[in-house]
A and B are shown apart, each in its own frame.
Chain A
Amino acid sequence: MSDTLYTYAVARIRSKEMSLLNAAAIEQLMSAKSYTECIRFLQDRGWGDGNTQTAEQLLATEREKTWALIGELVEDLSVFDVFLYANDYHNLKAAIKLVCTESEDFGLFLSHGTVDRDDIIRAVREKDWNSLPEPMRQPAQDAYEALLQTHDGQLCDIIIDRAALDAIYQAGAGSENDLFRMYAELTVASADIKTAIRCANTGKSLEFIRRALAPCSSLDVEKLARAAAEGRESISDYLATTDYAAAMEALNRSPSAFERWCDNLIIEYIRPQQFQAFGIGPLASYILGRENEIKTVRIILSGKLNDLPEQAIRERVREMYV
């Protein structure tokens, strides 16, 4: 694909990057005295649409703005499928739970997937698995049947999460762009590590762990599964031999510290894209930068709302893209 295809888009993104929150802005947000002050600070920075009141509305509006801009700049959004599959599979999970529990809570669904959420709900409701994209069909059917027969929500989650990771990995591996490949690899590897730790903590069987872990090139999932079945110590020993040895300190602190470590690693990797004038990389990096910004603001706002100590919030705050 020609690099010059996105020249206009990259130039616009360069201007848009000027309005992203940098470390100093996050510091200002952190030093706000109250939740209301935080909301006012964000509104002054142009967040929301003037009518948004709550944090969730504000963040949802910002996410909509990001995708509206990207939709304007890129004709074929399928290049970003690797970012969107997680939403699809989240919606599939929500649809299965919605249908199986006959609940009416539509707030669980996410926008901006590759498949319309109403189509997913309809497919699950009518058990019309063939109307779903091919990679979703079998996991959807398996998860639906598992939830109906066993009422085990965790098993349903495992089946769909594993399928989501496989889809993300396939999309990344099939991309010509290093950034998408790295994103997919890191997403799958970090999810595997988190799952392994959770399984080790709850004493899951080796069979269950094998089913939950998705293959990726930076981890040997068989070794990781065996280590998880043995316990946390074994996971530490195994990870020390991989690219994720540096993550051990964060992992030993807390799962949220590890998530922060993974997010910071992605941001560190994509930061040089700020100096690229061509290609899809700067656009993809902007999306990741915005998602990271929204996630960080959500952490700060919920911390302020729940009167968490500053140190507890600070531990979770991510590095910024700009």
Chain B
Amino acid sequence: MANMGMAFAILGAAFAAFLAGMGSAVGVGLAGQAAAGVVTEDPNKFSKVLILQLLPGTQGIYGLLIAFIALSQTGILSGEGSEISLVKGLMYLAACLPMGIVGYISAKWQAKASVASISLVAKRPEQFGKAMIFPAMVETYAILALLVSLLSISGVTGLPI
């Protein structure tokens, strides 16, 4: 039981990295298909559609960041591996979940918005700026989840439990 806290903390880090990474992989892949369709017909639009394709990729980076911080706080990265109570371990897990879950869902929906914006750019390349805004709005919620996870992890670290 003594190591269960550490196990849950690592599980939390894994959730953040896995779920957000999965969402981004699916999202960038989906937007990539649309981008390829547009570039097949007009290679000049490559740079514009590439940016739109990459937008759903940020959640994977946020997930990695949260996983990295969680692992660092538990001492896994430094190799010290200080003992963590079961309650604290569960708290780390809970702190990582917002990034994992919101990251996964927001990446998928951001990809759909990106695909729609890629269609917009295909027809009206001069509206690229506006086209960027629609998928970027979804990013707000990934950033909010990132903030919650970040603040929670730092808060949990300081708790005397």
Contacts and interface: CB of A to CB of B under 8 A. Distances in A.
B38 A4 contact: no
Give the interface size bracket for A toward B.
10 to 19
Contact of B112 (A8, A18, A277): A277
Nearest to A72: B40
Interface in B112-143: 112, 115-116, 118-119, 122-123
A104 B157 CA distance: 88
A7 B123 contact: no
Interface centre among A8, A11, A15, A278 (most CB of B within 10 A): A11
Interface stretch (B16-24, B29-37, B72-80, B99-107): B29-37
Interface string B30-50: 100111111011100000000
A279 to B, nearest CB: 11
A11 B123 contact: no
A10 B123 contact: no
A16 interface: yes
A9 interface: yes
A81 interface: no
A12 interface: yes
Nearest to B40: A12
Contacts of B118: 11, 277
A12 B112 contact: no
Contact of A10 (B35, B37, B40, B42): B37
Given A17-B123, A277-B119, A11 B33 contact: yes
Given A8-B37, A11-B34, A14-B122, A277 B115 contact: yes
B41 A16 contact: yes
A8 B35 CA distance: 7
A14 to B, nearest CB: 4
Interface majority SS on A: helix, strand, loop or mixed?
A: helix
Nearest to A16: B41
B38 A11 contact: yes
B33 A15 contact: no
Contact of B115 (A15, A17, A278): A278
A322 B131 CA distance: 20
Interface residues of B, number: 17
Contacts of A13: 37
A251 B122 CA distance: 40
A7 B115 contact: yes
Contacts of B116: 277
A8 B36 contact: yes
B38 A10 contact: no
A12 B41 CA distance: 6
Contact of B123 (A4, A14, A278): A14
B41 A7 contact: no
B34 A277 contact: yes
Interface string A2-41: 0010011111111111100000000000000000000000
A14 B112 contact: no
B40 A14 contact: no
Contacts of B115: 7, 11, 277-278
Given A15-B122, A277-B116, A278-B115, A10 B34 contact: yes
A13 B118 CA distance: 12
A11 B112 CA distance: 12
Interface centre among A9, A15, A16, A18 (most CB of B within 10 A): A15
B30 A11 contact: no
Contacts of B33: 4, 7-8, 11
A14 B40 CA distance: 11
A318 to B, nearest CB: 22
B38 A12 contact: yes
Contacts of A14: 37-38, 119, 122-123
Lowest 6 CB-CB distances: which A-B pairs, in order?
A11-B37, A15-B41, A12-B37, A11-B34, A277-B116, A7-B33
11 contacts: A7-B115, A8-B37, A11-B37, A12-B37, A12-B38, A15-B123, A16-B41, A18-B122, A277-B116, A277-B118, A277-B119
Given A8-B33, A13-B37, A14-B38, 20 more contacts: A4-B30, A4-B33, A7-B34, A8-B36, A8-B37, A11-B34, A11-B38, A11-B119, A11-B122, A12-B37, A14-B37, A15-B41, A15-B122, A16-B41, A17-B123, A18-B122, A18-B123, A277-B115, A277-B116, A278-B115
